[in-house]
């Protein structure tokens, strides 16, 4: 079996494990009755899993702080980006059709808004060669100016991401939007554009 085939098999196995764990957790919550009403309401309101953060106390909470090492060796921290809009995009650099659609929508918004926000693409999977896969992904989609990092700081835990997703953080460091497993062009533009004004 080739190196690429082994890599893809490892990624597929990891995704299956994550999906099964997520379904088991959701099943346990829904059978206890705790999630049924909120889940039904969320699906009814936002059929695609995207949510804005409610106004009030929750909207005032700071996003979890982090420091990551970009695959090019540059250190990225949320504190250093204070005053900027930050998009955290949890993605998989190979074999991910959702990521191919998401990068196109995110790139379109990025270009239309003049590149005035920071994009940090984060791979939750850490395997041999992931950095090269991320650099190749950036080159293939023409987004080399974005940051690409492997989640070695447990951001998926800190941000409660079980799968892929997009999180928008405002200039004050507050999470104001999340799209799980992805966010559409309109959702991204509506979440980001007002923050740049």
pLDDT tens digit sequence for 152-166: 999 999 999 987 999
CATH number for the domain spanning 129: value is: 3.40.30.10
Q: Which residue has the higher pLDDT, 119 or 52?
A: 119
CA–CA dist 194, 170 (Å, integer): 10
Residues 9-23: tens digit of each pLDDT: 667 665 665 555 444
Expressed in angstroms, the distance from the first to the final Cα of the chain is 52
**CA 167 – CA 188 distance, rounded (Å):** 10
Residue 128 lies in a domain: yes
Tell me if 138 is assigned to some domain.
yes
Q: Which residue, 75, 98, 72, 66, is CA-closest to 169?
A: 66
Domain range enclosing 187: 49-196
Is the confidence at residue 86, as pLDDT, over 80? yes
Average pLDDT taken over every residue of the chain:
82
Distance CA 181, CA 80 (A): 27
Cα(4)–Cα(132) distance, rounded to whole angstroms? Answer: 12
């Amino acid at each position: 079996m080739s190196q690429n085939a082994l890599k893809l098999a490892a990624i597929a196995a990891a995704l299956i494990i994550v999906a099964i764990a997520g379904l088991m957790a959701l099943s346990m919550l829904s059978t206890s009755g705790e999630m049924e009403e909120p889940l039904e309401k969320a699906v009814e309101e936002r059929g695609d899993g995207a949510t804005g953060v409610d106004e009030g106390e929750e909207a005032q909470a700071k996003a979890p702080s982090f420091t990551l090492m970009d695959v090019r060796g540059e250190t990225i921290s949320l504190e250093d980006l204070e005053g900027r809009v930050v998009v955290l995009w949890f993605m998989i650099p190979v074999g991910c059709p959702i990521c191919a659609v998401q990068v196109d929508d995110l790139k379109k918004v990025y270009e239309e808004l003049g590149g005035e926000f920071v994009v940090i693409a984060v791979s939750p999977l850490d395997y041999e060669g992931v950095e090269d896969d991320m650099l190749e992904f950036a080159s293939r989609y023409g987004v080399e100016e974005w940051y690409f990092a492997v989640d070695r700081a447990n951001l998926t835990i800190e941000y409660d991401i079980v799968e892929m997703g997009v999180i928008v953080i405002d200039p004050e460091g507050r999470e104001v939007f999340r799209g799980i497993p992805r966010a559409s062009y309109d959702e991204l533009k509506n979440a980001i554009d007002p923050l740049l004004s």
